[in-house]
Structure 1
């Protein structure tokens, strides 16, 4: 057995003791949102994806425009800037099937969880090579997990490996041994890209990316774009169909849409809802809105700042917020209004919780009155992208007699606020992790995590209920989710406003691309007619 280096001090929960069938059942309850997964074993032509079906045509380069510049030095973790290329270059050990909501094959062809939940056995795919030509093997899995645990910043679901004691490797079999039953392991394995130990330095600084995925890293030009070329030795026979991907950075949304309209690019990512409306009626284009609702606009409150240290005031604020107006004006009605942190595709979602803070000015005013005298001005902070939402929230607060001061923060100051957890009052931004298991939100989403969340909310009951959810078997999960959700809604230290999804526009000759439960794009089956 090989031991993993010192692990970070995550306060992760223990897990129940599921059989393999129970693991898959639990995955159906809390693990898989409805998305499209491209890491299966279907090698037949005409695989389904976005852009319709047909007989794939090999060759050609797909040109993609995205509004955010990629960050090749941050490829360990999923983020919107890298969602176009991370899974083109790298594979994961497992994925999720969107229909059966079960774990499906990736670089692992089978998996087994012991009866006591303390051991996970993975059988690795044979015949896989890194882009360098070196064979992929068990040592690479060990290296990837070790890196995920010990990197700074660490892997976003590194807490899953908190109780990992060691790794046994025998041929193509990797056995993970834990001191306690393990939770969300398949969520972690579906997000964690397997990385090459021989090119790790280049991976860290973003200068070299050697994966096992369908495309090989070509070049990165800051401010301009990324080029990827076909991996001729990809383990899925006949894939990819495309000769390459060219990713361009076009930061102005109107310029991005113009590039698609003028045929300069084949596909535009992350369109603003207003821009989507300008192209969705044009028969020359296909417009896809992801069904994961994987991003949530939230309003958080520093609970150590007057008057936000009073729960009644926090609750009053959320009764006053006009969520529907924000959805209508900012997202053209495309989003899903919700106060709860679980996406409509999560097992944690319930319409009664989504509507728990339906706008009620009379109730908000009564809560303000019950809270006692308020002499402080409430600071409302946001980044530039959320400035209009901040204006609506500030106006809503004025309707119930609360005075506000809007402050639009520069990126450097936002980073400082995050690191020191020192927001001056309310803060508006986006969080993720809401599409899969609810436990991922309370252990991975910075605004709401049990320990050291952005808004300084600490509660023994919160920690206890999170552990209750993590240790519940599938039959007990609904009750555990309900108790946890009710506490989050009652404390109102950070509640959602609108759940949103990505918008992608493409030329009608683009076929077969897909996206996964993490909103990352998959191009192994993509082709151009």
Structure 2
């Protein structure tokens, strides 16, 4: 499974901290391509050729209810559709299958009014019964309830063909995204499915723009337009074409040689290796709206239980060097709120100003460590009151070249403040197991990229997400909790007033800055590349109608319905 897909799965399984198992999205960051693509079928001018997932060969599965990466992209957002889509760049929910939503006065009832005239791809009408049926499937089969909506939803009912009502067990306004992002399936086709967890749904009936399986072979498949799509005149693209590539190397080579129209990959030195080959048509856009790349320190262990030590380590890191050398200048250093540009409308300037500990300051870092009782030994390595030297490993995944380079820089930086840190690489599975169980000293990692800072800080500071070392944690890998944060989070859950939410989010940011529970390094770029040789109207910095990347469902739906043949 590709890196971006692994992260997407981890993010979905950590939603709201409501489940006890876990690709914004730090999206794929791999070495430059070196091998030829395995799928060499001729490029069709009428088909938009895309790479989003890397597989040596395709398995025919279009089940939108199972884990991302098991069903073929764009099953969850392209074949099937959600009720609404949160547009990260605009910071708002966009009506989709639902035309509007409304909360009750006590924020315990959510009413969704469905869009009139929507049909399934077999011509049958889409109704509120389909929505209620889908959520009842999640209730019956807990393995499908990735967002754990039944952890806060008590019931769902179709009031009439166009109205769905969700009753909640407690006020939980942030739960809106988990409800409205759920792909909806047709009751008349799924009511007879014996086991929806294992069902492959090889011939889908759906509401999305591309529902017709025109070709499906081991090395390539193609999806045609929905003959009954509800957006008149869309999609303009006749079909989607998906060659199989066993890895990012081969996929990137296909991008560079012109086979692909749309991709979402890390390409080192992209201006030279991609754009310069065809300046008129080769383009990319990496807005900093992905999740934040973070250095996690285990707060259950000394000296990381001391915020002075955490801040000192952060001040010993040269983020400018990391951005320049490890990330090819694609991003910028993080501020101390740890928020990416996706949350700019929420950012508290006072918290940013107060967070000086994300700026390189070796003298101040040394002073903080002196104050905390860690003195430099004869070998230059600091020693604590317990006589143990500050020697630690920083865990990272083998082959994640940008992160490996970042850790090498961090380890070199920290010598100047008397911390002896060494790089330790693991394959993804053992790396992630250590991260989830809190069995590490220091580790590279990522944060969630949900719509509001509530979701972000709940992962990082809530008692509800805290687990003992050795027990799997969905997101609170550094094992930190704060009672003041708990109170702010609960208050946020109970209000749908935007100004009140912003006030609470600002207080959460200040609390994070004061405690430095984790060490943010840089906001993750949202990787996206495209060619205009055959198709136009991709989002870009001059036309930012959505993210460009195909790696952020359901937002990729915006692109699928707007791209046009040249």
For the pair 1:402 / 2:419, whether they are aligned, the reply is yes
3-state secondary structure, aligned to 1:477? helix
2:481 maps to: 458
3-state secondary structure, aligned to 1:381? strand
For the pair 1:428 / 2:444, whether they are aligned, the reply is yes
3-state secondary structure, aligned to 1:433? coil
> Relative to 1, partners in 2 of residues 1:225 and 1:201: Cα closer, same or farther, differing over 3 Å?
farther
> Relative to 1, partners in 2 of residues 1:101 and 1:383: Cα closer, same or farther, differing over 3 Å?
closer
| TM-superposed deviation, 1:316 | 1.2
CA distance, structure 2, for counterparts of residue 477 and residue 270 of structure 1: 34
For the pair 1:173 / 2:163, whether they are aligned, the reply is yes
> Relative to 1, partners in 2 of residues 1:446 and 1:87: Cα closer, same or farther, differing over 3 Å?
farther
| TM-superposed deviation, 1:146 | 3.9
Determine if contact 1:78/1:191 at 8 Å carries over to the other structure.
no
| TM-superposed deviation, 1:87 | 1.6
CA distance, structure 1, for counterparts of residue 329 and residue 350 of structure 2: 20
| TM-superposed deviation, 1:498 | 0.7
1:158 maps to: 148
After TM superposition, list the pairs within 5 Å mapping 1:182-331 onto structure 2: 182-197=172-187, 198-199=189-190, 204-205=197-198, 207-208=200-201, 210-216=205-211, 218=213, 224=219, 226-250=221-245, 253=248, 255-281=250-276, 282-291=278-287, 293-331=289-327
2:10 maps to: none
After TM superposition, list the pairs within 5 Å mapping 1:348-497 onto structure 2: 348-350=346-348, 353=351, 356=356, 357-372=358-373, 373=384, 374-384=388-398, 385=400, 386-419=403-436, 421-433=437-449, 436-443=451-458, 450-452=465-467, 453-471=476-494, 473-497=497-521
Deviation sequence 1:90-137 (CA, Å, 0-9, x none): 211123567875443211123222233222221222333334554322
3-state secondary structure, aligned to 1:337? coil
2:339 maps to: 342
TM-score of the superposed pair, with normalisation by structure 1: 0.78
Determine if contact 1:330/1:389 at 8 Å carries over to the other structure.
yes
Determine if contact 1:448/1:494 at 8 Å carries over to the other structure.
no
CA distance, structure 2, for counterparts of residue 499 and residue 79 of structure 1: 24
1:49 maps to: none
Determine if contact 2:54/2:247 at 8 Å carries over to the other structure.
no
| TM-superposed deviation, 1:474 | 3.0
For the pair 1:106 / 2:87, whether they are aligned, the reply is no
TM-score of the superposed pair, with normalisation by structure 2: 0.73
2:563 maps to: 526
1:28 maps to: none
| TM-superposed deviation, 1:251 | 5.6
3-state secondary structure, aligned to 2:197? helix
**Unpaired segments ≥5 residues, structure 1:** 1-7, 13-57
| TM-superposed deviation, 1:333 | 2.0
| TM-superposed deviation, 1:423 | 2.9
CA distance, structure 1, for counterparts of residue 95 and residue 119 of structure 2: 17
| TM-superposed deviation, 1:437 | 0.9
CA distance, structure 1, for counterparts of residue 312 and residue 275 of structure 2: 38
3-state secondary structure, aligned to 1:399? helix
| TM-superposed deviation, 1:239 | 1.9
| TM-superposed deviation, 1:345 | 3.0
For the pair 1:64 / 2:53, whether they are aligned, the reply is no
**Unpaired segments ≥5 residues, structure 2:** 1-13, 19-43, 374-383, 468-475, 540-544
> Relative to 1, partners in 2 of residues 1:75 and 1:343: Cα closer, same or farther, differing over 3 Å?
farther
Determine if contact 1:319/1:359 at 8 Å carries over to the other structure.
yes
> Relative to 1, partners in 2 of residues 1:337 and 1:154: Cα closer, same or farther, differing over 3 Å?
farther
| TM-superposed deviation, 1:231 | 1.2
| TM-superposed deviation, 1:389 | 1.6
Deviation sequence 1:461-490 (CA, Å, 0-9, x none): 221222233345433334322321122223
CA distance, structure 2, for counterparts of residue 437 and residue 505 of structure 1: 27
| TM-superposed deviation, 1:428 | 0.6
